[in-house]
Amino acid sequence: MGEMFIHCEVCGKEAVDIHHINCRGMGGKNPEADKIENLMALCRECHVEYGDKKQHKEMLQEKHNTILANFNNVLRSNLK
């Protein structure tokens, strides 16, 4: 069996960072910030390239939404 790891949601390499699509704020308590809908797995290179840059926020959210939708579809089909 091959090595298992979580893939970067942008490029597919091994993810090493969890990125907040909508930032959590400076030490603030935002309960929405740490929900799965706002957290995406990224490799270091993609986090540096795309993370925390407003011009990429919509692209990141769209990619993440697609991955979440696919995951939910797999879960539903396995429950049947």
pLDDT in tens, 41-51: 999 999 999 99
Per the structure, the count of domains in the chain is: 1
In a domain? residue 61: yes
Domain limits at 41?
17-79
In a domain? residue 70: yes
**Structure tokens that stand for 67 in this block:** 């991955």
Contacts for 6 with CB less than 8 Å, ≥ 6 apart: 14, 15, 41
In angstroms, the CA 18 to CA 41 distance is: 5
Q: Is the dihedral of CA 10, 42, 31, 22 positive or negative?
A: negative
In a domain? residue 29: yes
- Residue type at position 76: R
Express each pLDDT in 12-69 by its tens digit: 999 999 999 988 776 667 778 889 999 999 999 999 999 989 999 999 999 999 999 9
In a domain? residue 27: yes
In a domain? residue 10: no
In a domain? residue 41: yes
Nearest to 52 by CA among 32, 22, 18: 22
